[in-house]
Amino acid sequence: MAPIRLRHPKGVTTLQVDLDSFTVLDLQQEIFAVTEIPPSQQELKAGYPPHSLTLIPELPLESLGLKTGEQLIVTQKPGAARTAAPAANTVSNASPAAPMTGLTRSQLSEPVVLTPAPAAPQESGPDYVPTEGGYLVHRIVPDDNSCLFSSIALIFEQDMSKAPQIRKIVAEEIRKDMDTWNEAILGRPREEYISTILKPNTWGGAIELAVLAKHYNTEVASVDVETGRIDRFAPPAESDSGNRCVLVYSGIHYDAATIAPMLDVPDDFHQTMVPREREGDDDAVLQAAKKLADKLRVKKAYTNTATFDLRCQVCKTGLKGEKEARQHAKETGHVEFGEY
């Protein structure tokens, strides 16, 4: 364990972190325990002069380039109210996209199966917001641990049932690019990671989105329902098509968002990719994505994975948040959890 000095609104605290095995989310949850600032609302700076860190929860802590004795500064994002843990809810017909940030994401040695709490009744039809050229529509995919792959299949293959093929694309791309997708970035041996991501009940996350953005030469923009934050995964500049697609992430589930010229047209008429008009978040489609997230947030269609209540479906142990669930999985081998 290595000491990391943390400056925060309540004072200064020294955290003990494992620079070799922690993920970024592990660090964020340690910070949450001290500051009560949820991971999704944390802004971290390091170095001198302090510079902002890009936080991708699924990546190993090594991706931040921190060193023993490093000083971090954490603040709460502007406009983010510090509230009690939200009630567990879900986006899509099941719970929220997001999973899945992921109890297991492909980072655990064994895939985790999350059974969401029953979804609250919804008004008929998917949510949507007006945008240039039509309406940005929330396209719900099954909550079956393959939601990321189903959403990508819907967007690029116009058939969400091709999720298994999308998993194979990820596996092959990781297998081919040993330099980019090395053991340090994957957080585990390469062949083990590849084998795990091919299993139908293993979640995907940031690594998979980065791989797929490169494969399809298209930027993947993921909007977080809880915060409205947009994470963009861009392809290499030399192969960039200049197009963008949109995903909706609720904390434990991914859905797609596509553009319909009119609300009553068949799904086949939806535009699943659009040209990038601007690089910043003020792009018209990204602004629409934020408004769609706002609409879903009002319905509490998200899950805060740091604070939601879980129960092990095997031994019935009650757990708080993703960190406790991951630790329980490592200690017991139990990998089936449900919200309650």
270 has catalytic annotation: no
179 has catalytic annotation: no
- Give me the catalytic one of 215, 231, 240, 334: 334
- Give me the catalytic one of 253, 255, 270, 328: 253
Buried b (16+ CB within 10 A) or exposed e, 279-299: eeeebebbbbbbbbbeebbeb
Q: How far apart are CA 189 and CA 187, in angstroms?
A: 7
Amino acid at 100: M
Report the alpha-carbon angle 298-304-306, nearest 5.
160
- Give me the catalytic one of 144, 231, 281, 309: 144
If you ran DSSP here, which 8-state letter would residue 153 be given?
A: H
Q: Please report where in the chains the tokens 């990820």 appear, as a residue.
A: 170
240 has catalytic annotation: no
Report the alpha-carbon angle 333-21-307, nearest 5.
65
* Closest listed residue to residue 55, CA positions, set 224, 214, 194: 224
- Give me the catalytic one of 138, 147, 283, 328: 147
Q: How far apart are CA 296 and CA 258, in angstroms?
A: 16
- Whether omega for the bond prior to residue 49 falls within 30 degrees of 0, making it cis, is yes
Catalytic residue positions?
Answer: 144, 147, 253, 334
